[in-house]
Structure 1
Amino acid sequence: MNQPLPFPQRPGQAAPAAPLLRGLPLLRLGFRPFYLGSALLACLSVPVWVLAFLGYIPLGVSVPPLLWHAHEMLFGFAVGVIVGFLLTAVKAWTGLPTPRGATLGALALLWLAARLAAFVAPYPVYAALDMLLLPAVAASLLTVLVQARNKRNIPLISLLLLMALANGVFHLSAMQVIEVPALSALHAELALVLMVITVITGRVLPMFTKNVTPGLVINVPRKFELALLAVTAIALLLWVCAAPAPLAALASAAAAVLHAVRLALWKPWVTLRRPILWILHLSYAWMPIGFALLAAAQLGWLPATLAIHALAVGVVGGLIIGMLTRTARGHTGRPLQASRAETAAYAMVLLAAVLRVLVPAVQPQWYVGALHGAACLWALAFGIYVVMYTPWLMRTRLDGKDG
């Protein structure tokens, strides 16, 4: 489409051509390669992990399979989505360009190389490749935010650097360079991902909900938001640091209550007819559930893995499938309305969380069957995304705009 003319056009004068779009569509904005790669990783790696965990296939990685699975879900899948989201969002927040073209391609290839190196390269090579991405992205985004004097979002860069630190601790532990348990580094990364989610959802979920609900008023007091962020950070820090159980459990229980109140203040019931919105609210509902289970686990009432997967599958997985679809639709010029296939994918991820967390909590003897079911539903959900969105992510926006 032609752009509006800056001056009146003379009779017979040809309209100037629209500016050419530069580069491959896949490399025009960060969400494109990172969303696609992360969804593909989610689709393939979980079934592989379950088959290896149950003894059907050898995994062939240099770390214990459990550590590989947890690491790839956090530093491969979740970090890939966060990187894609921030590379896209920072451009919208500042109006300045973020990495694209060859630079974006190099970042995406670095992410992919680390995923493959876990299987084919010596462990130090895998570790080195894996540790490069987050500092590179943090430096790039910090440059843009400083140039735009966008101080509000600079704290997000500190979270990326803390993630890079957690990743470094994990790899040094795996190589037996330091004595910190590798699992503690993974817990720290999950905590950081949850903090990013807590910040971002507080900004976007009320806005998304109000934008499609005329007359809706959502008023979350700033003091409440600050208290929620502080209590959430304290609860997660106490858990990661293995603080005394009563204190850590109390903090987790307080966080559960505050997140439940926050969700109620967002009035999620108004989204029931909009799947692209209810997936975000229902996924966030796993936040108070997860913290409540974490409190119970720290008191020895439940296995900690139930709380971890409530937060990892329910919160992280559910919000990711919701944001992958919503932001990709918006940034490819498509309507913000979920199709039946996308709605099915939403339901599958939420049901996977139920099978992985609630079924074993109630009937532990059903654990293996529930694990099979959860893995299949998870893989199908992200498989739907890959099949449906790959053509969209590799083509120019429907409205012809760049990005």
Structure 2
Amino acid sequence: MSISIPLPSPSRKHPRYRGHPALALGFRPFYLLAAAFGALAIAAWVLMYLGWWQPAAQPWTGAMVWHAHEMVFGFAAAVVVGFLFTAGKAWTGQQTPQGIWLGALAGLWVLARVLMWGGPAWLAVVVDSAFLPACALSFFIVLRRASNQRNYGLAIALGVMGALNVAFHAAVLTGDIGIALRLTEAATGIVAIFVTVIGGRVIPMFTANALPGVTIRRHASVERAVVVLTLLAIAAHSAHAPVWLTLPLASGAALAHGIRLAGWAPLRTLRKPIVAMLHVAYAFLALGFALIAGAAAGWLDGSTALHALTVGAIACAILAMITRTALGHTGRPLETGRMEHVAYACIALAALVRVVVPIALPALKAYAIGGAGLLWVAAFVLYLVRYTPWLLRPRADGKDG
């Protein structure tokens, strides 16, 4: 799968948006909803996992399967959609969903979250299955209108996520929970591909912009191989492929990500947290695939390895991007303050606690999950406190969007 991410180009003239600011551009409703849901869903999951809360209305899929599904197809999917709808306008010069249509998509997402918790199974399946295909089609229409064929892969990847979600529901309804969980792992791989591809474009660029004179090194062979290795490694892991296949693929992906990151001068970014956080996220991609290789060899459990990707690479990348893009697209300087820096520290520590403690001290795994959950919730609550007013107001510079 080849995906090209061009640099933003000047947008064409569009009629000025006159509706509520929250529906002016995709990042506004979806970043806000994802952050709020991410905090609530993890808090609920930790309480249920530790046995401190047994709600009367349990998720119809069961707590563990609900957690796996909702963090990938709910939380992460919302951020991906918000990012693509926002960046897509700059990439194509075409208006992405806004106003009533954007509100309808956001409402569909919210309804799916409610139904996945306690709604009738058939209705939850219908509503939740509709969200990603609707977003993929909406994004594809924008790309097609702009004849932007080189980015069709992004819409296709979103559609593949939607297909995996439909397959997940089919597996749950037929009682095959093992297959359902494997499908959530495969969908995690799709999100990891987004981090790989988009990170490969923006992290070096942001680093060079923030640190004039820094040398960015790229290796052509690594750039050609990294997406394929990432895709194959996560496919082998989620399919529970034999060790002789998963081990070399995951090791190769880890090595490719590590070489790539080393060429982006990560240590030079430590004084620029808004950039450094992206490097931290990308470092967890390399670590995650190294741990997946270790899990294939039987050195640790697969869940811990997978959480290096979900809490480490994906959540850290999400928090880094929803701060940066929200600042830029609300007309504010690309400068973060103490609240963002504490949030960054919380999510990075959450990833370390969730991954390192179960490996080093397996008997403390439950405490690690509880501590990591608390840190996760703190990170996204801090984001909400800081950014909710900005996401609900017009741009500070008076521009559209």
Q: TM-score range by the shorter chain?
A: over 0.9
**2:233·2:246 contact (CA, 8 Å) conserved in 1?**
yes
TM-score by length of 2: 0.93
**2:60·2:116 contact (CA, 8 Å) conserved in 1?**
yes
Letter in 2 for 1:345: A
Q: Which residue of 1 is the match for residue 248 of structure 2? A: 250
Q: Which residue of 1 is the match for residue 75 of structure 2? A: 77
**1:348·1:377 contact (CA, 8 Å) conserved in 2?**
yes
- Report the CA distance between 1:248 and its aligned residue: 0.7
- Report the CA distance between 1:224 and its aligned residue: 2.2
Cα shift readout 1:195-245 (whole Å, capped 9, x = no counterpart)? 111111011101111112222332314442111112112212221222211
Cα shift readout 1:376-402 (whole Å, capped 9, x = no counterpart)? 110010001111111000000000001
Q: How many residues align?
A: 385
Q: Which residue of 2 is the match for residue 354 of structure 1? A: 352
| Structure 2 CA distance for partners of 1:57 and 1:335, relative to 1, 3 Å | same
Q: Which residue of 2 is the match for residue 44 of structure 1? A: 40
Q: Which residue of 1 is the match for residue 6 of structure 2? A: none
Gaps of 5+ in 2: 1-14
Q: Distance in 2 between matches of 1:97 and 1:21?
A: 10
1:195-210 aligned within 5 A:
195-210=193-208
Letter in 2 for 1:342: E
Q: Which residue of 2 is the match for residue 24 of structure 1? A: 20
Q: Distance in 1 between matches of 2:305 and 2:381?
A: 26
Q: Distance in 1 between matches of 2:150 and 2:314?
A: 24
Q: Which residue of 1 is the match for residue 8 of structure 2? A: none
Q: Distance in 2 between matches of 1:309 and 1:119?
A: 22
Match of 2:318 among 317, 320, 341: 320
- Report the CA distance between 1:147 and its aligned residue: 1.4
Partner secondary structure for residue 321 of structure 1: helix
Cα shift readout 1:331-369 (whole Å, capped 9, x = no counterpart)? 001111111010000000000011111011101122222
Cα shift readout 1:255-304 (whole Å, capped 9, x = no counterpart)? 11111000001111121111111111011111111111100101111011
Q: Which residue of 1 is the match for residue 139 of structure 2? A: 141
Partner secondary structure for residue 375 of structure 1: helix
Letter in 2 for 1:50: V
- Report the CA distance between 1:181 and its aligned residue: 1.3
Letter in 2 for 1:137: C
Whose Rg is larger? 1
Letter in 1 for 2:110: L
Cα shift readout 1:96-119 (whole Å, capped 9, x = no counterpart)? 100000000000000000001123
Q: State which drifts further: 252-261 or 222-231.
A: 222-231
| Structure 2 CA distance for partners of 1:310 and 1:204, relative to 1, 3 Å | same
Q: State which drifts further: 199-208 or 229-238.
A: 229-238
Q: Which residue of 1 is the match for residue 333 of structure 2? A: 335
Match of 1:35 among 16, 31, 38: 31
1:80-159 aligned within 5 A:
80-159=78-157
Q: Which residue of 1 is the match for residue 182 of structure 2? A: 184
1:52-63 aligned within 5 A:
52-59=48-55, 60-63=58-61
Letter in 2 for 1:181: I
Q: Distance in 2 between matches of 1:42 and 1:141?
A: 24
Partner secondary structure for residue 181 of structure 1: helix
Cα shift readout 1:80-100 (whole Å, capped 9, x = no counterpart)? 000000000110101110000
**2:22·2:28 contact (CA, 8 Å) conserved in 1?**
yes
Gaps of 5+ in 1: 1-18
Cα shift readout 1:114-151 (whole Å, capped 9, x = no counterpart)? 00112331011111111111111111111111111112
- Report the CA distance between 1:254 and its aligned residue: 1.1
Q: Distance in 2 between matches of 1:386 and 1:395?
A: 14
Match of 2:162 among 161, 164, 178: 164
Letter in 2 for 1:229: V
1:237-386 aligned within 5 A:
237-386=235-384
Q: Percent identity?
A: 46
TM-score by length of 1: 0.93
Q: Distance in 1 between matches of 2:17 and 2:399?
A: 8
Q: Which residue of 1 is the match for residue 9 of structure 2? A: none
**1:169·1:180 contact (CA, 8 Å) conserved in 2?**
no
